[in-house]
Amino acid sequence: MSPSLFAGFALGFSLIMAIGSQNAFVLRQGLRRQHVFWICLTCATSDALLITAGVMGFGSLTLVWPWFEQAMRWGGAAFLFWYGARSLLAAWRGGETLQTNGSAPAEVALLPVLMTVAALTWLNPHVYLDTVVLLGAISAQYPQPLLFGLGAAIASFTFFFSLGYGAAALAPLFAHPRSWQVLDVVVGLTMWAIAVKLLMM
């Protein structure tokens, strides 16, 4: 596997696995087994479009403003430190719980569900920091930025479809706050490790 492709996959997967409103929505819909395919496809495709915009646009910006690459690298590292601190703080506070019930919920129409997941994706300012700014900036550090972006996009498809279709198996586990704490710790430490590596490039 190409180092650029692997790095893009690893970073993309690390960023996207952080607990957030979008992931919680996908997880809950997966538990309900409602419109899982279309929800996962919408999330993953949105990520792929944003990642492509970041990878394709960052190179031209660095030609116009040579200082922009370094600024984004420092800004990206600062964001990752903050992101990691937020995850570790959530773990320290006790984590979350997945609220589900045993009864089968009523079927919800596809269009409102897709509008909800689209809003959770495109109206979240963090998604632009993660994909367009952060991944776009880091991709310029690799000899094959397009493969880096492809790896990040593959990570999004892998994560969302795994989360959506694997939700039923995770239901008993994520009924306990301790599971969310462990995941938050892993995410926080991963973000900090990536930030340190970014500063050393």
Whole-structure pTM over 0.75, yes or no?
A: no
Query: What digits encode the pLDDT tens for the residues 80-95?
Result: 788 789 888 888 887 5
Query: What digits encode the pLDDT tens for the residues 18-55?
Result: 766 688 788 878 877 889 999 999 999 999 999 998 88
What is the phi/psi pair of residue 171, to 5°?
A: -55, -50
